[in-house]
Amino acid sequence: MEAVSLAELRQIALKKIREHRGCHDVEDLSVCPLDASGSDYNWAISCGVGGSDKIAASKAALYVQEEMRRSYALAADDPA
């Protein structure tokens, strides 16, 4: 699993979400650090929708989050 910064996670996630149908104009999203105790992941996506279909954007965010959690972790030294 690759450890990346909060900014990198956000950039990757936004690009991947925009690839989904109805999500090309998603304007913003947040990647939120989580307390990793007892969990396999230490971040979550919160999608801001601007112009996009809110349902499609929410579904895409969940899908991308699950896909990315297999490959990326928030770097422990990121000041979040």
Express each pLDDT in 28-68 by its tens digit.
888 889 886 767 889 999 866 556 688 888 899 999 999 99
Question: What residue spans define the domains of the chain?
Answer: 2-74
pLDDT in the model for residue 10? 93
Q: Record the pTM.
A: 0.84
- Taking only the tens place, the pLDDT of each residue in 5-20 is 999 999 999 999 999 9
What is the CB neighbour count within 10 angstroms for residue 56?
16
Consecutive H or E run containing 62: helix 54-69
Task: Please identify which residue in the block is written with the tokens 């959690």.
Answer: 69
Is residue 61 classed as helix, strand or coil in its secondary structure?
Answer: helix
